[in-house]
Structure 1
């Protein structure tokens, strides 16, 4: 699936640069199972819970960008996107509780104390985004937050195509369809256009750092999907020999 969200030659080249990472995301079992409805409800609820935590941090990163830019339209865009991220989070909780299959899985995770604890990947991704937006140049901050727009918009098209005609009882039907959103596509194109402009005027060294931030965030996108499916947590025993004692 190839939908062109690039805004010019620089962002087109950047997308080509991360194409191997995107192909790894497209091949994740999590997404194939999400599309065909076979994904375990616990894995989906875990993903939603991690995404809720992520979106809080993502909104903070965009708030830094809104404060940092001298362009009023761009400031409004980032501030509006930050507010939208919080709205999405609230909608997630309502949707989870509306479906008994997901609500039961949510209850199980709550009972285990697994919900609303950021996984190592979630914490790493959020920390990277906030630190980049707060302490690096505006262009680097834009490059860091952009993959969440671009990868999700791209994967929305991939998911809808993979899912095909979903039955009424498909557990993730509504969720899959929300990925393919004209409004989100428009926001993605706006964000990509900002990065195209920033890359065009950036000195070579800064442009290199911007490309590195974009690529790092794409890697985090890959690991975010995969770690949520694997129910990643802070259990250190996975790093120890099986017969080791602590």
Structure 2
């Protein structure tokens, strides 16, 4: 089951524009394995750890939007969403520490230092969001942060449908179910509506930049999931001949 979150003609066209990227996300082995419970716990813990780093930066980007808009309701929305991102981060850590199946892998990442270090993709995505929200127009900033709402809300429906009736011992049961949240759906619709309104006010040049920011963030969404599954790190040896060390 999928839900149409588009708020008008501009956001409808925008979603159609990035549909090939969304299709690639839907086909990622990470999500299929998450749904059927076969995902390696180290990959899942790595994803959660990277997501906690990402959410801190995402909250900062939305705080910039809250300060930049002249609309009080929109300012409250972005500020509230930023606060919610921090709450989600804290909740993730508590959930991981409470599950013995994941705690060992979490401790391993903590010991190695990986839990607290952004991967190249995470750093790139966060830097893009914060820089766009801080230094570009309000409309471009909204377009950049929107995929985290929209793609996640869409994938929540896809993931729950693929998972079907999960057993009580499904290792990711609680996590999968949190993807399909009516409250998050409402927030997504609100964010999409804001972007539709910004498109209505934008010049053609500004609208082009907004579409580019949205598409770039969607590409980062694809790479974020894939890189977490691949346990991406800063090891440069993968780019060098085997007889060269760094």
- TM-score greater than 0.5 by the shorter chain: yes
Q: How does 1:24-63 map to 2 (within 5 A)?
A: 24-63=24-63
Q: Distance in 2 between matches of 1:245 and 1:238?
A: 10
After TM superposition, give the deviation of residue 77 of structure 1 in Å.
0.1
Name 2:184's counterpart in structure 1.
184
Deviation at 1:68, TM superposition (A): 0.2
Q: Which structure 2 residue ranges, 5 or more long, are not aligned?
A: none
**CA deviation after TM superposition for structure 1 residue 110, in Å:** 1.8
Which shows bigger deviation, 8-17 or 111-120?
111-120
- Distance (whole Å) between structure 2 residues aligned to residue 4 and residue 243 of structure 1: 52
Deviation at 1:201, TM superposition (A): 1.0
Q: Give 2:120's aligned residue.
A: 120
CA distance in 1, matches of 2:147, 2:174: 23
Q: Is 1:132 aligned to 2:132, yes or no? A: yes
Match of 1:88 in 2: 88
Deviations 1:192-231 (A, max 9, x none): 0000000111000000000000000000000000000000
Distance 2:245 2:65 in 1: 47
Once residues 75 and 114 of structure 2 are traced to their aligned partners in structure 1, the CA distance between those partners, rounded to angstroms, is 36
CA distance in 1, matches of 2:74, 2:114: 37
- For 1:236 and 1:60, locate their aligned partners in 2 and report how far apart those are by CA, in whole Å: 29
Which residue of structure 2 aligns with residue 70 of structure 1?
A: 70
Which position in structure 1 is the counterpart of 2:143? 143
Distance 1:7 1:207 in 2: 16
Q: Which runs of 4+ in 1 moved over 4 A?
A: none
Aligned residues: 246
The Cα of 1:58 is off from its aligned counterpart by 0.2
CA positional deviation for 1:243: 1.5
State the match for 1:241 in structure 2. Answer: 241
Deviation at 1:98, TM superposition (A): 0.8
Is 1:170 matched with 2:170? yes
Coordinate RMSD, CA, aligned: 0.7
1:197 alignment counterpart? 197
